[in-house]
Structure 1
Amino acid sequence: MAFQPYRVLVVDDEEIVRSMLGKMLGANGYRYLLASSGREAREILSREPVDLVIMDILMPEESGIELCKAIRQQYPRVAILILSAVDDPETVGEAISAGADGYLTKPMEPKELLAQITVAMYYRKQELATE
């Protein structure tokens, strides 16, 4: 069986962040989809298979924490990484409690994000294998 690249959904209300992450993911062999809001992310998830969601916390309409909880409940096989400028322990704890598999602060190095993707996907697969 040939390697199938992970499908990653990037959710961020800032176009420049979505674009930068999309280019970085594409350059590293990932297939990606981009959403500017929680609503758009939900629409994509309802029709497209996704392995990983990378999302911001501070977004209009719906916070990343709310979206994280909803994704974890509705799509338990999807790994979730939070990528946010918010860097306080309480928010990190809230994100992990909501179901995030990892938390990175902006700005981050591409190598750091790629490593977190690898770790999140590994642990999600391990968790699913024990169900």
Structure 2
Amino acid sequence: MFVESFAASEEGRQRTVLIVDDVAITREMLYELLAGYDYNPLICSSAAEALIMLREYPVDIIVTDQVMPGMDGWDLLRNVRKEWPQLAILLYSAKPPQRPRDLANSLDFDGCLLKPASSAELLAKLGQLLS
């Protein structure tokens, strides 16, 4: 999931992060990490659930896995860009990005980290995307 580095200095300032991952332990670990750094994390286990949550809660950034059953992270990206084009999306995946052939070249994640990233890397990337 991530490697705790204890070197992170980014503070979330209560910004809301939607964590989308089908693996429960990943969601829980990210939730605990981000809550500890003053983020307001929300979690869901699928891209379809994430789209429902986005309609109910204001979110500052999405952290999503790439490979999930049903809708994957790329499908989530497509849908988010249609309704919330300015919302930042960070791909946090065990595999390098595997862009679908039918995806428009104009659509891409705002950032990418490979698992396991250090907590400092993850927090720095969130800080960069939210600034």
Instruction: Judge same fold: TM > 0.5, yes or no.
Output: yes
In structure 1, stretches of 5+ residues that fail to align are 123-131
Quick check: which one's helix share is greater? Answer: 1
Partner of 2:67 in structure 1?
A: 58
| TM-score computed with the length of structure 2 as normaliser | 0.82
Partner of 1:127 in structure 2?
A: none
Instruction: Give runs of ≥4 in structure 1 deviating > 3 Å.
Output: none
Work out whether 1:21 is the aligned partner of 2:23: no
In structure 2, stretches of 5+ residues that fail to align are 1-11
Task: Using CA pairs under 8 Å that are at least 6 residues apart, name the structure with larger relative contact order, 1 or 2.
Answer: 2
| TM-score computed with the length of structure 1 as normaliser | 0.82
Deviation of 1:97 (Å): 4.8
1:31 equivalent among 13, 34, 40: 40
Matches within 5 A, 1:1-131: 5-87=14-96, 91=99, 97-122=106-131
Q: Deviations over 1:40-93 (max 9, x none)?
A: 1011001100000000000000110111121122112311100001126x54xx
Sequence identity, in percent? 36
How many residues align structurally? Answer: 116
Contact 2:13 2:38 in 1 (8 A): no
| Equivalent position amino acid for 2:30 in 1 | L
Q: CA RMSD of the aligned region, Å?
A: 1.8
Contact 2:13 2:39 in 1 (8 A): no
Q: Distance in 2 between matches of 1:80 and 1:27?
A: 21
